Each structure stands twice: as C-alpha cells, then as structure tokens.
Structure 1
Amino acid sequence: MDITSDTHSQHISRQFNQELEELKTHLMTMGGLVENQVLEAVRALLEGDSRLAEKVRDRDRQVNDMQLKIDDECTRVLARRQPAASDLRLVLAVIRATADLERIGDEASKIARNALSLIESGTTVRGLVEVRHISEHVRKMLRDALTAFARFDTELALQVVREDEAVDDEYGSAMRSLMTFMMEDNRAIGPVLSVMWILRALERVGDHADNLAEYVIYLVKGLDIRHMDPDQIDEDALKRRG
C-alpha cells in the first residue's frame, strides 16, 4: 500500500497517530538544524567569521543528542506498537534518516574546523566561488529531500536523487581546478587543501541528501532504489507501484 499524507491518521489508536506524527516532526526539526549548520559553516568561511565557525563546531553535540532522542522514540514505538507494513517502513525510514542527518552535522563541523584554520591563517584562498555554488546546490537538495519526506512526495524525492550526479560533476570540476592551481604555486598547497576538504564535505552532504530522498521512495512505495541508476527509474512505474 502506498503511503499518503492521510495514511497515518487512520489508526484506531489516536495516541499511535500522535507518536508517528511526532517522529516526523522531530525528524524535520533535526533536518532544519543540520541544514542551518551547513549554511552557517559556509557563511563563516565566506565572511571570515571565526565566532560563527566556532558556534557551528560546538553545536555538533546538539545534533548528536537529537539523533539519540529520535532513535529512542523509534525503539519505543517498535517495542510497544509492533507496527507493520507502511507504519514499520515509516519508523525504519526515520531511523535511517536521522543517521544521515547526524552525518551531515559532522560534515558541517568539518567545514567549520577548516574554515577556522583558514581564517586564523589570514591567507587569501582560491575556490571560494566553487564552495558557495556547491553549498547552495547541496542545501537545496537537502531542503527538497526533507520536504519530500514531510509530504511523502516521491516525484520530488526522485528529482533530488537525480541532482546528486550534477553535484558530483561540479565537485570533480572544482577539484581539478584546485589541483592545477596547487601545481602552479606550491605556497598555496596548505590553504587549498583546506578548501578541498570543505568541498569534499559538501559533496558528502549531497550524498546524504540523496540517501534521504531514497528513503522517501522506500517509505512510500516500498521500493529500494539504492543500487539503481536514477536515469533508469521509470517515473510512471513509480507512480503505479505500491
């Protein structure tokens, strides 16, 4: 059975409905937090704001605590309710999604740490245009993936999955450009390596957003597309499946 926005309002137990809705709400709250972490980490780098970078780095524990809280809620639902079918898929999808959101928080912390290093060195660095562009791209992927999860929107989720390849291409192009620059100027190796680590972290954010979108398709359709070529997924067939 497909899941729609009304599916989880059909239980006899009103309390069970509330528990499932709270899982979704807490997941969205965690998603908003990590999206903001990525935004502020990149902004700290681009604006040379060391305090903001420290704030992002130090807030990682809050993200970890949210993951533990949501996992505990999921465990209680599984133990008490023993959900089946679409309800079970929802709980499993939330557990998987929180793990990816926690890793996005880790990537934001890596960006913040490297931003601090660059700010403290006072060095003018290359690659900031690429950082800004890729960060905007992956944050949109993350935002769309969370929206797809909230709305059980498989079409939007599939768009996110297909965007990941474009991010990979942008990342590869930026890395090649920075490698060329390092070869031309040995003095730039240290700062450019920091920028490359930041770009790698952003590319990983895109990967995790892709995972979130895949969970939406699994949740709504019961279809695991993790090892499928996104271009080979038939949208019409996806609409019919369930």
Structure 2
Amino acid sequence: MEWKTIKVRFEGPVCYIKFNRPNAKNAINNLLIEECHRAIILCEKRSSVVIFEGSPEAFCFGADFNEFEFNCNNEKQIATRPDLLYDLWFKMASGPFISISHVRGAVNAGGIGFVAASDIVIADDTAVFSLSELLFGLFPAMVLPFLIRKIGYQKAHYLTLMTKPVNVKVAHDWGMVDEYHKNSDSLLKRQLARVIKLPKSGIEQYKNYMMELNDFVMKSKDQAVETNRTIFSDDHNLERIRLFVEEGIFPWEG
C-alpha cells in the first residue's frame, strides 16, 4: 500500500504511523486524514498497539492553512473534513488497540487532537503544546471534547484562551503527557515491553467499557463538527487566514 502523507510499518503487534509532511510541519490535510483512516482499519484487525509519531522538530501542527482555497468570487473552501477528523480521533480513543502518541518538538491546534485522543502520551524534553486558533478568531471545537476528557475543563479552557505554548513539564503536570524523558525512544521501548503482553481481546473489552463509563466524546461529535464548520465559514476568520497565507500578515498586525 502506498502512502503519501504518512509512513506505516508493522512490527509484530505494533503499528507505527508516522506523519510525513516535513515541509508543512506535519500539518493536517484531507489526504493525511484519509490515509490515517486506512491505516487504522488495518490496525483494527491486526495490531494491539498503534503509535503515532512526527519528526523531532514537529509532531503535528494542526490544519494546513496553505490548502485553503480563496477564489476570485471570494468563496472559501474548508481545508479538512471535520467529521472524518473527529471520527479518526474517536477511533484512536475507542478502537481495539492501545493508541500511543510519541511527541517530540511542536504540537499545535489539531495536533493536540491526536495527543488528547491517545490512550498514552509520552514525550521528550523538547515537546511543546499549544492551541493557537483563537488568534485567528477560531477555536479548537473539535479538539476540546477530547482534551477536556483528558485534562479537565479549566485547563483546556486556559490553554485555549492563552494561545501560548506550554512546555512538557507543564503538560505532564496537567495530565496531557503521561511520561517524558530526554531519551523518549528508550521510554517508548520500556512502555512497549509491557503493553505488547496484553491480549487484543482484553484491550477491546476494556476500551469498550471505558467508553461506556465516559461517553462525553461520543455525545459531543455533532456539536463539535457543526461548530467547526461554522467558525471556518465565517468571513472575518477566513480573511485573517487568507492574509496570513497569501501576505504573511498575522491577525494582530492587521
């Protein structure tokens, strides 16, 4: 199977999905979402552990603004399919495997969706986490159900409002990161030595039970997707994005 935006490899019961858009800081576009779905379908059948990775410089930097289209009639096209992206994160949270995000470098906006949807998050000491959307008049409607479930309402609220990055120590203190170490590859190996011993059937039953105990992300989908479509259809928000993409003007400079 050919992949254009990700790299996929299987090692026994473990599947590694690596974001592979280095020139775009591993930003999210429609093809990346589609390819991740295809990879997850394979994992549902054969893997008990799925690991998401980026590059040492950037894990994932959210939606790719460069793939927005602004035509001569001033009609704008949303860069990603919010329903498919939400479904991808939901599969990470509920699927019959242990999902792990291995974070190095910057993770922003939609990239935090992958982190928040993961069962386990490990990181190295270069990892920084941010939600920058509100600078453009947007907000992380899709990310927030997963993030609130992971770190609580007030910390997710604060991260959204402040828009500035927090380092890995703060993220760990908040519960966004489970463990971190300068050598995160070694840490990942130690984690895997344990979790690969767990039977896939047990993982599936356990995660189904956990989703029944806390169905917040399931119930939040329709509202999150519709809100995302609304904020990405707002002319003022999209004009801020256009000025940034086409002219390099940040919203606070206008």
TM range (shorter): under 0.3
Q: Could you say which structure has the greater relative contact order, defined with CA pairs below 8 angstroms and 6 or more residues apart? A: 1
TM-score under structure 2 length normalisation:
0.26
Higher strand share: 2
TM-score under structure 1 length normalisation:
0.27
Which structure has the bigger radius of gyration?
1
